[in-house]
Amino acid sequence: MQTPAADPKDSGFRSFAEFYPFYLSEHRNPVSRVLHYIGTWCAVLCFAALAITGELGWLLGAFGAGYAFAWLGHFRFERNRPATFRYPFYSLAGDFRMWWDLNLGRLKFREHNRPA
């Protein structure tokens, strides 16, 4: 007998591998992807500055910049609710995975099979 995919109380995703396609579907707008990319780079640079200087203000900068760019992308361009509200840990992992995939060229800012 098969078990259900999710208990009503859980997220509905058994793994990040199951979540990531959903995450990408919530980030189809190229402007939103660019904003997420910029925000994640800002967060990475703030974390680097935190590591170098030890000044905790960089931690606030990392979260502020990361979320500001991402949420602008969602509310203004995607017109959807950020996955952070429903799946905070998977969403954070998705941000960094998408950023990594964009850096390596595995993912494009604009999907070519989608009309502009």
The rounded mean pLDDT for the chain is: 89
Q: Is 4 a domain residue?
A: no
Q: How many other CB atoms are there within 10 angstroms of residue 39's CB atom?
A: 23
pLDDT score at 69: 97
Q: Is 47 a domain residue?
A: yes
Quote the domain boundaries for residue 29. Answer: 16-104
Q: Is 115 a domain residue?
A: no
Q: Is 5 a domain residue?
A: no
Q: How many domains does the chain have?
A: 1
Separation CA 22–CA 83 (nearest Å): 9
Report pTM. Answer: 0.83
Q: Is 41 a domain residue?
A: yes
Say if CB 98 and CB 43 are below 8 A apart. no
Q: Is 44 a domain residue?
A: yes
pLDDT digits (tens, 9 = 90+) for 29-62: 999 999 999 999 999 999 999 999 999 999 999 9
Q: Is 76 a domain residue?
A: yes
